[in-house]
Amino acid sequence: MIKSALEKVISEDLSELWTILTPDEKRKVTDNFTTHTFKKNQIIYAEHEEPEFIWCLLKGKVKLFKDGVGGRQQILRLIRPVQYFGYRAYFAKELYVSTAAAMEASTLGAIPMSLVEELIDGNRRLAWFFIHELSRNLGSSDTRIVNLTQKHIRGRLAEALIVLKDNYGYEEDGVTLRIYMGRDDLANLSNMTTSNAIRTLTTFADEKIIVVDGRTIKIIDENTLRKISKYG
């Protein structure tokens, strides 16, 4: 199981990380790599917990979120295969400031952060890899903050749908999003109330931009949706 999980990580778009490791470093990673399965809505790690691992999503979908006023969630990031996450807090020497949970049955790999720190101490290229990842994520977070606070409701929901498409893609029909989110999660991703999310979805459907059937959403006019996301 460990070998097959590692082969997936290596063969996907994060193979860059593997290629900068020496043979001895690769052996250490292989020896310490563990796989974990999570059920839908199961917590992977919780806010205020101490970070121990760098996590890699191998199969499934994961959300990072933070509880706000009145217990309302704000989804901060969506994780797609194959992405690493959960390491920032360790580097910052602080507890987790958000919670990670599986959005569907998911398989994840984990490597102890103590090992990652050891590898970084001896491999400058690995250090630069993480600097690049952290910097890119910070830039994305800055952009998202502006979008969530300055865009109108239509623009925020359109952006959320585009984020879902860009992260998880379409089903084989080329229009159905390959993720099935409840209205609450969609609202939490868009920084709006559930009732506003429902009303805006209905408006998009009336405008023939999308088709909604329960939790299934088909994007009929992606170009228009992207324009609303950009200028809304």
**Residue 60: closest CA among 110, 105, 14, 11:** 105
In one-letter notation, the amino acid at residue 159 is E
**Could you read off the pLDDT of 64-104 as tens digits, one per residue?**
999 877 677 889 999 998 889 999 999 999 999 999 999 99
Q: Is 49 in a helix, a strand, or coil?
A: coil
**Could you read off the pLDDT of 137-153 as tens digits, one per residue?**
887 776 777 767 678 89
- C-alpha to C-alpha distance for 8 and 108, rounded to whole angstroms: 11
The model's pTM is: 0.84
Model confidence at 13: pLDDT above 80: no
Helices assigned H by DSSP within the chain: 2-11, 15-19, 23-32, 88-92, 113-122, 124-150, 153-168, 183-190, 194-206, 222-231
- C-alpha to C-alpha distance for 97 and 88, rounded to whole angstroms: 10
